[in-house]
Amino acid sequence: MKKAPRDVAWYQATLNRVPDTAQQMFRDYSGIPDDKVLEHIHRIRDQAWEILPYPCIGVFRFLDFPACLSPIYPEVLARVSDGETFLDLGCCFGQDIRKLVQDGAPSDNIIGVDTEARFIDLGYELFDDRNKLKARFETGDVFAEDFLSKYRGKVDIIFLGSFLHLFTFDQQVAIVAQLEKLLRPVPGSLVFGRHMAIEEKGGTLRRNALGWDLYHHSSDTISLLWEKAPEGKYRVESALVPYASEGWDNGVNWQGGNDVRQQYFSAKRL
């Protein structure tokens, strides 16, 4: 089998410093000794790279635990801790799920979804918790008519980490319609996440070094997206922050230049 190329700008051969949150997670949640963490991360990362050589894997971006960086995370943690149901769509290794559990949320009402089952399996290896984590993991296509049909109307909070920017605006409108089927049709149901963005007028597709066209939102376009939700009305909040990661060494010029930002957003049903 042909190996995934490593002579690309979005593959960082070594992680020179384990980010503080990641170090704490591997020590306190997974019980991995500090002097074993770096080797452990490299081993799992390189297995994942051979499955799908995504930038978030190549530059160790999965170690950001992005959900906890969202301004609305304290509310999310409190609500899940009180028994509400949380779904991570595009969960990859399920890193944000583990962080939520480590922060005190029970894992019984947490669901992770990805198209790639092998990432879910590697998540158990990465966090060494197959015998203790009670979260449910599913695979599925968000555009499928029967997508997660057994969870329809049963989810309180959905997290979208580096997800929406993979799709055109029209595809995102279809995704929002699918999310509404999963959410409880009550005030307070919540979708939050982060994705690529730009400070200028949003709504543009920009090609990165991988040859992918990524959709760059602005505050206007993320609000417009949720105005097109077929059922409910939503209060949308968003903020642009630098596109950065603690584990990176080589910058982000390959991703489209220094004008690229990331956007944290939340959409709460009224």
| pLDDT attached to residue 196 | 82
Per-residue pLDDT of 73-100, as tens digits, reads 999 999 999 999 999 999 999 999 999 9
- Scored b (16 or more CB within 10 A) or e, 96-107 reads bbbbbbbbebeb
Higher pLDDT, 85 or 207: 85
Domains of the chain (ranges plus CATH)?
20-269 (3.40.50.150)
Among 112-116, 170-174, 247-251, the minimum mean pLDDT is found in 247-251
The pLDDT tens digits of the residues spanning 95-109 come to 999 999 999 999 999
Distance CA(90)–CA(92), nearest Å, equals 6
**Hey, which residues does 266 pair with through a beta bridge?**
192, 237
Distances (CA, A) of 248 to 162, 211, 221, 244: 17, 21, 29, 8
Q: What's the pLDDT at 62? A: 93
Question: What percent of the chain clears pLDDT 70, i.e. is strictly above it?
Answer: 90
User: What does the pLDDT read at residue 174?
Assistant: 97
- Which long-range CB contacts under 8 A does 4-9 form with residues at least 24 apart? 4/49, 4/50, 4/53, 5/53, 6/49, 8/53, 8/58, 8/209, 9/209, 9/250, 9/253, 9/254
